[in-house]
Amino acid sequence: MAETFDLVVRGGTVMTPSGATATDVGVRGGKVVALGDLGGAAAAATLDARGLHVLPGVIDTQVHFREPGLEHKEDIAHGSKAAVKGGVTAFFEMPNTSPLTLGRADLEDKLRRSAGRAWCDHAYFVGGSEDNVADLADLERLHGCAGVKVFMGSSTGSLLADKDELLARILANGRRRVAVHAEDEERLKERQHIAKEAAHPRAHPIWRDEEVALRATKRIVKLGTEAGRPVHVLHVTSAEELEFLGRHKDVATVETTLNHLTMAAPECYERLGSMAQMNPPVREERHRAALWRAIADGTIDVIGSDHAPHTLEEKQRPYPSSPSGMPGVQTLLPLLLDHMAKGRLTLQRLVDLTSDGPHRIYGIAGKGRIAMGWDADFAIVDLKAEREITDAWIASKCGWTPFAGMKVTGWPIATVVRGHLAMKDDEVLGTPVGEPVRFWSTLRGK
C-alpha cells in the first residue's frame, strides 16, 4: 500500500541541514516524516513549491504583543497573524506586559489567552526582578516558558534590575540562558537632559549612546562569567559592543534586529521622526556596517524583530514623551531576503540566524530545521519576487510600518505551522493552531 501523508510539499528547493536540496517533503502528525521523491504518494493536501525555496519557519525570539492590554495595543490574535503573514512560525514574547509576567499565574494566563487565538506557536519570558528572584529556578522550567528576561535599563514597573547585587542573585537562581536588555540605567539618567533639551528624536542615539550599551554589556558578561550562567545580549547596536562580545562568546550569545541592520541615523530620524525611535536606538552608519561585519564573521547568533508597535497617535507625542518601539515581526523575513538579494548574506546564513540559531541558543525541541522527525514548520519563499511593503499589508493593530514604500526582492509565499497551511499568497487561512513551544529543559516539567 502506498504511503499516505497529511501534507506533501512538492517540487521546492528545501533548505536542509546539509544545504539546498531539490526534494519533496512529506508531513504526518505535524512532523516531517519523509524527504525525497514523493510523486506517487497520496496526501490529504499538497502544496506546489516549484520555483520556490522551502525554509525552516522563522522563530522570532523577541516580540512585544502586550496581551492583555489597552484596546489599541497589539494582542496575540493580531500579532500572531502578522507573524504568519511574514513567514514566522513561532514567537517568544517579552514580560513587560500589563500585567507583568512575573510568576506561574501570569504565564499560565498568557498560555490560556493564546489557546485558539495564536496563529503560530509561542513561548513567554518571565521577567527577572526583586519580586521573584527566589522563584526563578522553578519558573524557568515551566511549560511554555522561554526563559528569564532581565531589563538593566528603564522598563515597566518592577522589572528594572539595574544593580549588580540583584543581577548576581538573578543569575544564581537557574540554569537556562538569560536574555538581557543591556543599557546602563545610571548613565541613562545622567544624560536624560540631552533628550529633553533637543526635543527631537535625532537626539535619541546621543542620549542613549554606545557607552550606555557597552557599560551594561560589560557588566552582564562579567556577572554571567562569575555565576557560570550563559547570557543572551538582545538587540546589540554598536561597534564597541560587538568588538567586546566577540571576545566573550563562551558566555554570551548575540542578537541584533532588522531595524538596526536596515536603518541608520541621522537619516531615519529626519525622515521618520519618532517612528524610528526604539531602545536601544538606531545608530550611525559606522555601527550598521559593524553589524553586517558581525553577521559575516559569526559574532551575531540570531536576528529578532523586537516587534513593539504603538499607534501613530502615540508616536506623534512630543519627543521624548513619544514611546519607543516599532512593528517588525511581519517585515523581518522580507527585509532579510532583500538584504540577501543585495549580497549582504547567503541563504544558508539567513536560515541560521532566524531558525537554527534560536534553536541552539534556547534549546528548542523539534524546531529550527527541516529534518526527519522535526516539526513541519516552513516559510516558503520566492527569492525573485519583487514587492512593495505597504501599511495596508500590515496585520498588526497599529496598521503601519517604518518600511512602507520600500521595494524588496524576496517574499514569503506560504507559511506552514506544524503541517497546517497558515498563510498563502498574503492571505491568512483556516483557524489559529498555535501551541506552546517545547524546550529540552522543560520537557520533564510539562
Cite the active site residues. 306
In single-letter form, the type of residue at position 368 comes to G
d(CA 367, CA 377): 7
Ramachandran region of residue 30, left (φ > 0), alpha (ψ -120 to 50) or beta?
left
- CA distances 168 to 219, 229, 334, 336, Å, are 10, 10, 39, 36
C-beta of residue 120 within 8 angstroms of C-beta of residue 437 = no
Strand 88-93 with 58-63, pairing: parallel
Q: Where are the alpha helices (DSSP H) in 235-352?
A: 239-245, 258-262, 267-272, 285-297, 312-315, 332-341, 347-351
Strand 378-388 with 302-304, pairing: unpaired
Query: Cell triple for residue 44?
Result: 490529504
C-beta of residue 174 within 8 angstroms of C-beta of residue 228 = no
C-beta of residue 30 within 8 angstroms of C-beta of residue 5 = no
Residues 6+ apart with CB under 8 A from 78: 65, 395, 396, 397
d(CA 324, CA 313): 13
Task: Determine the 3-state secondary structure of 353 from DSSP.
Answer: helix
Task: Determine the 3-state secondary structure of 26 from DSSP.
Answer: strand
